Structure formats: C-alpha cells, structure tokens
Amino acid sequence: MKKEINKSLSVKFIDYEVQNGYPSEYKIRKWARRAYLGHNKNSVNIKLASVSEMKSLNKKYFNKTKPCNVLSFPDALSSDHSCFLGDIIICGDVVNRESKIFNVDSDKRWAHMIVHSMLHLQGYDHILKKNQQMMERKEIYLMSQIGFSNPYHEN
C-alpha cells in the first residue's frame, strides 16, 4: 500500500505548457509532493526552460557549456526553509532526449528528475561518495513510492 501524498507542498508552475512527451502539471505536482520529506507548509517553483535557456543558466551558475536536464536552486534567503524550498528548472527537451537514449519511459525519467531536484532543495547532494549513496537510496525509495523501478538499474 502506498502512503498518502504529502499535500503540505505547494507547487507553482512558471512558463509550463504541456507539450508532446511532457507530463501534466498534475503528475509533476504529485511527484514533487511525494519527494517532499517535510510536514510544514512549504512551496516550490517549477519552471520549464528551453535548451538555450538551460545552456545559459548552466554556463552562468556552473560554468558548463552544455544544457542539462534539471537545475535546482535552494532558497538561499531563508535559513530555516520554513515556507519556500526553492526553484526547479527543467529542460523538457533534454529530459525527453535522455529517456530515449537510456531507453526509459518518459514519465519515469521526468519523475526521477523531479525527485532528484526536490532532494537537492531539501539539502541532499552527491558531491561526496557517501552523500551520493545516501541520496541515491532515497531516490530509489521515493521512485518506488510513486510506482517506478530503480532509476539507476535501467542503463
């Protein structure tokens, strides 16, 4: 039996238009809420970015020249994260291309990117090996809670 989805998280969409191969706002909201580990009222913004936008953001903030699938920007102004977790910026074209490259269902890839970025907003990272292992275990668990298999054993 799956546990009830945490409704303490408010999800605001910015520039999000469902296109062919993109999941609905309903699905993304459900995945984000499942990945929210807190119980206090909180919110997150999710923005859909074009490939060129994502390339620009990746260059500006991470000095990388390619577009990436998703970027997470935790709220740096609030020390207790009591009402706003931060922003998730996702590039649908990159995510869909990866789902084809990895031969993974599109919804599963999108869900993994939302879960992964939600964990980043909640303080998880994968810089150190031990942190990476902890984060991946949490991702695998959360993905199973929303009905998807281990995202790291597909490739």
Here the contacts of 122-131 (C-beta below 8 Å, separation 24 or greater) are 122/36, 122/37, 122/38, 122/81, 122/85, 123/74
CATH number of the domain at 80, please. 3.40.390.30
Which pLDDT band, with edges at 50, 70 and 90, does 31 fall under?
Answer: very high
Q: Is residue 3 part of a domain?
A: no
Q: Is residue 2 part of a domain?
A: no
107-127 pLDDT, tens digit per residue, is 999 999 999 999 999 999 988
Q: Is residue 140 part of a domain?
A: yes
Residue 112: other Cβ atoms inside 10 A: 27
Q: Is residue 1 part of a domain?
A: no
Q: Which 8-state DSSP code applies to residue 127?
A: S
Q: Is residue 152 part of a domain?
A: no
Q: Is residue 154 part of a domain?
A: no
Least confident of 1-5, 94-98, 121-125: 1-5
Query: Which pTM was predicted?
Result: 0.90
> Domains in the chain: how many in total?
1
Q: Is residue 155 part of a domain?
A: no
Residue 80: other Cβ atoms inside 10 A: 7
Domain hosting residue 78, numbered range: 9-145
